[in-house]
Chains A and B, each alone.
Chain A
Amino acid sequence: MTAYVLRRTGGALLVLLLLSVTVYALFYVAPGDPAKLACGPRCNAEQIAQVREQLRLGEPLPLQYLHFLQGLVAGRDYSTGTGVLHCPAPCFGLSYQNDQPVAQLLASRLPVTASLAVGAMVLWLLLGVGTGLLAALRRGGATERVLTVLTLTGTATPVFITGLLLLMIFCATLQWLPFPTYVPLTEDPEQWAWNLLLPWTTLALLESAKYARLTRSATLETLAEDHIRTFRAYGLRERRIVGRHALRGALPPVVALNAVDLGTMFGGAMLTESLFGLPGIGRLTVESVRTVDLPVVVGAVLGVGAAVVLAGAVADVLYALADRRVTLP
């Protein structure tokens, strides 16, 4: 296990390094000049040059990247005009647009995105795996058909339509729920949940079909295997067979996909965050890409990278636990 953790950590560091290099390289070719954007539309050449210098964009790209790495290790100092702002290690730099330390920006957004991602995951697993199991049990029946069409409709409907419909029904017409605003979990857990219920549902409706279909097909696959036949021959109850044994067969694909979805969800569900006005990482990333705010984008992408790697590792451990024949890679 220790060796596994070490290997995985090493791999993770490599992933993060590669990610940061890639983002730097991609921004090098992307259109838009951060100095011009930070300066404003009516700046003259001289002002733009000053801003470029102030943002430390005058250096060649490899040097900029080197300084970024330096900042990660040793921290950096920035001028506020009237004083000095120290950005302690690991320093991801300051936002070009609003001069705030990137780490601070991300830290303020992380709880929102984490709340959204984890809550939505619980819902889509309940809805998806539940539906999938039910569909496997009642195969060929009307229940299965209805459930299948329902979840597929969720997948085929863009977030915007689902979200707006939910808002219209529950917040405007029935007024059962508040128009979502983010309330921190630490402030008021009840309000936190009420406000996030619609965003969670919106995401769950979009994602659950994949889980439902995967669970259903993997469950059926397992049910046809020899050992299950044996159980059945012994007269084990069908529900027990499905619950105890067949579900285990559905684990690998469901866990693998869930690791991917949860990890990338930490990059934010941009549409859902935008629609429901949740100040999460997704919206920050979109806005930062739009304004060519490289330090923020790098920070956000590294955050997602860490989440993806971690979720992948958890998935690996889960396979090993679920199936003793699988060893940790």
Chain B
Amino acid sequence: MSDTPDTGAWRRLRARPSAVVAAAVLAALALLALGAPLLTALEGQDPTTYHDQLVDSARGGVPYGSFGGIGADHWLGVEPGTGRDLFARLLYGARVSLSVALGATVVQVLLGVTIGLAAGLGGRLLDAVLSRFTDVLLALPMLVFAVALTAIVPAGFPRPLLLILVIGLLSWGGTSRIVRAQTLSLRSRDHVAAARLAGRTPVQIARRELLPALAAPVLTYAALLVPTNIVVEASLSFLGIGVTPPTSSWGQLLSTATTWFRADPLYVLLPSGCLLVTVLACTVLGDAVRTALDPRERSRLAVGTRRAAARPPKGATR
């Protein structure tokens, strides 16, 4: 093909219906998050106002009415204990959760890939230094860091950015280990050896020969970092460095909702459903991007499917 690889990948990506759907879902989530003020205004609610009269105080603050108080006024019901509008809290929560989770994932992937590649391609000394540094980071519980941070970070520091930095800078160990392992096994392969013999620099080798092959595990892993980061965000707010109340986030909603899954199932299902949809969309899109980046995609598609398995003539495999 005469296309440049990039446009080819883009075309292949667009040609996959699952990729288009996944991208559309993520775009819709982003739109909902951005349009939160507008949509909640449409509903006539806001995310912070209490409605004491909507919850049954004697029964632990469970919302009156079925399905967590769903109705014309509160489209997705209200939060137990406070009576705050769930639709509004969910939409506003998406802003924090999506930006923090995606932002932190990007930081993790960038750091992880760079450090993992450097460790895998560099000399023995560089590998040892980087790998031992990764060990230190892996062994230190984020908790210890986070507690120390509470004392250093000024109160005015923008919380979402702080969260992106904390999560991103502290937990790239998994990514870097995967990248290093893959690099170690790839660098002795023929095409990499050939490139090295041809006098390519390690950076060139990394970009041309390794990154395409690394895309599979990295994209796969990164998609799964997203939900973890959303939950970590919630636990950090527990230490006082998460989002400040009354701001909501999916993680915050989930962590207060856990005990309610029998008394008010919708309260749990809504944030966890949002989380699941995000993860699914990220995974599908990650998969699609990976295959689209890879020119051998078509042959791979055929592999292992029933069609492919049926292809060899009957007599060939005893």
Residues of A within 8 A of B (CB): 7, 11, 14-15, 18-19, 22-23, 26-27, 29-31, 136-141, 148-149, 152-153, 155-158, 160-161, 164-165, 209-210, 213-214, 216-218, 220-221, 223-224, 232, 235-238, 242, 252-253, 255-257, 259-261, 263-264, 267, 270, 285-286, 289, 297, 301, 304-305, 307-309, 312, 315, 319, 322-323, 325-326, 329
Given that A31-B147, A238-B304, A242-B304 are contacting pairs, would A210 and B224 also be in contact in the complex, using a CB cutoff of 8 Å? yes
Q: Is the CB–CB distance between B178 and A156 below 8 Å?
A: no
Complex CA gap A138/B302 in Å reads 11
Nearest CB on B from A108, distance (A): 20
Q: Is the CB–CB distance between B317 and A235 below 8 Å?
A: yes
A-B contacts, 28 of them at CB < 8 A, read A26-B144, A26-B147, A140-B301, A152-B224, A155-B228, A156-B272, A158-B258, A161-B254, A161-B258, A209-B224, A213-B283, A214-B221, A217-B216, A217-B219, A220-B216, A223-B300, A223-B303, A224-B299, A238-B309, A263-B139, A289-B144, A301-B144, A309-B132, A312-B177, A315-B181, A319-B185, A325-B189, A326-B185
Q: Which of A136, A156, A261, A315 is packed against the most chain B CB atoms within 10 Å? A: A156
Closest residue of chain A to B278 (Cβ to Cβ) is: A156
Q: Is the CB–CB distance between B276 and A156 below 8 Å?
A: yes
Segment 255-280 of B: residues with Cβ below 8 Å from A: 255, 258, 261, 268, 272, 275-276, 279-280
Complex CA gap A322/B258 in Å reads 43
Nearest CB on B from A303, distance (A): 9
Nearest CB on A from B27, distance (A): 20
B165-198: CB near A (< 8 Å → 1, else 0) gives: 0000000011001101110110011000000000
What residues of A have a CB within 8 angstroms of the CB of B152 in the complex? 29
Complex CA gap A232/B216 in Å reads 23
Stretch of B61-69, B84-92, B123-131, B202-210 contacting A (4+ beta carbons < 8 Å) = B123-131
B245-261: CB near A (< 8 Å → 1, else 0) gives: 00000000011001001
Complex CA gap A152/B228 in Å reads 11
Nearest CB on A from B181, distance (A): 4
Q: Is the CB–CB distance between B283 and A152 below 8 Å?
A: yes
Complex CA gap A46/B282 in Å reads 58
Q: Is the CB–CB distance between A252 and B184 below 8 Å?
A: yes
Q: Which of B147, B228, B303 is packed against the most chain A CB atoms within 10 Å? A: B303
What residues of B have a CB within 8 angstroms of the CB of A256 in the complex? 177-178, 180-182
Q: Is the CB–CB distance between A15 and B300 below 8 Å?
A: no
Q: Is the CB–CB distance between A325 and B188 below 8 Å?
A: yes
Apart from A14-B132, A30-B147, A253-B181, list 12 A-B contacts with CB within 8 A: A18-B132, A19-B136, A26-B145, A152-B283, A156-B279, A210-B221, A213-B224, A217-B216, A260-B177, A264-B139, A267-B139, A329-B124
Closest residue of chain A to B284 (Cβ to Cβ) is: A148
Q: Is the CB–CB distance between A305 and B272 below 8 Å?
A: no
Complex CA gap A267/B280 in Å reads 30
Given that A238-B309, A256-B177 are contacting pairs, would A220 and B303 also be in contact in the complex, using a CB cutoff of 8 Å? yes
Q: Is the CB–CB distance between A15 and B139 below 8 Å?
A: yes
Nearest CB on A from B294, distance (A): 8
Nearest CB on A from B81, distance (A): 18
Q: Is the CB–CB distance between A218 and B148 below 8 Å?
A: no
Q: Is the CB–CB distance between A148 and B135 below 8 Å?
A: no
Q: Is the CB–CB distance between A155 and B258 below 8 Å?
A: no
What residues of A have a CB within 8 angstroms of the CB of B220 in the complex? 213-214, 216-217
What residues of B have a CB within 8 angstroms of the CB of A156 in the complex? 227, 272, 275-276, 279
Which listed residue (B213, B221, B272) contacts A157, Cβ 8 A?
A: B272
Closest residue of chain B to A302 (Cβ to Cβ) is: B139
Question: Chain B interface mostly helix, strand, loop or mixed?
Answer: helix
Q: Is the CB–CB distance between A308 and B135 below 8 Å?
A: yes
B121-158: CB near A (< 8 Å → 1, else 0) gives: 00010011001100110111101110110111000000
Instruction: Tell me, yes or no, whether B305 is within 8 Å of chain A by CB.
Output: yes
Closest residue of chain A to B188 (Cβ to Cβ) is: A325
Nearest CB on B from A16, distance (A): 9
What residues of B have a CB within 8 angstroms of the CB of A149 in the complex? 280
Q: Is the CB–CB distance between A285 and B124 below 8 Å?
A: no
Closest residue of chain B to A268 (Cβ to Cβ) is: B141
Closest residue of chain A to B240 (Cβ to Cβ) is: A31
Q: Is the CB–CB distance between A23 and B140 below 8 Å?
A: yes
Q: Is the CB–CB distance between A312 and B296 below 8 Å?
A: no
Q: Is the CB–CB distance between A148 and B276 below 8 Å?
A: no
Nearest CB on B from A24, distance (A): 11
Complex CA gap A297/B144 in Å reads 9
Closest residue of chain A to B145 (Cβ to Cβ) is: A26
What residues of A have a CB within 8 angstroms of the CB of B304 in the complex? 136-139, 220, 223, 238, 242
What residues of A have a CB within 8 angstroms of the CB of B308 in the complex? 238
Closest residue of chain A to B213 (Cβ to Cβ) is: A221
B274-316: CB near A (< 8 Å → 1, else 0) gives: 0110011001000100100000100111011110110010001
What residues of A have a CB within 8 angstroms of the CB of B139 in the complex? 15, 19, 263-264, 267, 301, 304-305, 307-308
Instruction: Tell me, yes or no, whether B223 is within 8 Å of chain A by CB.
Output: yes
Q: Is the CB–CB distance between A152 and B279 below 8 Å?
A: yes
Instruction: Tell me, yes or no, whether B110 is within 8 Å of chain A by CB.
Output: no
What residues of A have a CB within 8 angstroms of the CB of B258 in the complex? 158, 160-161, 164
Which listed residue (B136, B254, B296, B309) contacts A224, Cβ 8 A?
A: B296
Which listed residue (A209, A216, A305, A329) contacts B136, Cβ 8 A?
A: A305
